[in-house]
Amino acid sequence: MILYGASGHAKVVLDICLKNGESIRYVLDDNKEIKSLLGHPVVDQFTSEMLVDDELIISIGSNTIRKKIVNRLSVEFGKAIHPSSIIDTTVSIGGGTVVMANAVINSSTIVSKHCIINTSASVDHDCFIDNFVHVSPQATLCGGVHVGEGTHIGAGAVILPNVTLGKWCIIGAGSVVLKDVEDGSTIVGNPGIKI
């Protein structure tokens, strides 16, 4: 496995990979100041040949940056799923996605590519999560929620059943979203309002 990005988020992804018995071939990062990540050397100069034989996970928390990097690369993307997560057998998870400790993803949910389902997040049945979404720690998506590309759902937020969140939205930490949200919106509070 190769990780692209040596941030704090990368430490968690690295831990998940190791818990799953994956060996980390490279940790890549453009920042020449970073020399190692939890004892793994970080490479700042790399070529496309280095990316040929292994699956890669972009281990960067920013949805926007993950998308920019994906658009530059033509490689095979892996997944990192923590062994303590609970994922129904009918769930589909796309390449590049990370599911962290104690996350729950229930029946008939689709999690697309390059998403983050963070620590203790709960995604209920029949949800659709588009590419580059981040569901933060302890956020709750009730049944039938649709999340548009690039949306960030803050820690502890609650999205009520059958709500649609547009693309590239920000849902503030602790917010409770009762109704559909337009693309590019920022929602905060309980009940959630657009700001």
> Counting runs of H as helices and runs of E as strands, what totals does the chain give?
2, 24
Residue 99 bridge partners (DSSP)? 81, 117
Q: Which of 9, 125, 146, 152 is catalytic?
A: 125
HEC secondary structure over 98-155: EECCCCEECCCCEECCCCEECCCCEECCCCEECCCCEECCCCEECCCCEECCCCEECC
CA separation for the pair 77, 89 (Å, rounded): 21
- Six-digit token string for 160: 């009520």
Among 122, 120, 160, residue whose Cα is nearest residue 144: 160
Is residue 61 within 8 Å of residue 9, measured between CB atoms? yes
Phi, psi of 170 (to 5 degrees): -125, 125
Is 125 one of the annotated active-site residues of the chain?
yes
Please identify every residue annotated as catalytic: 125
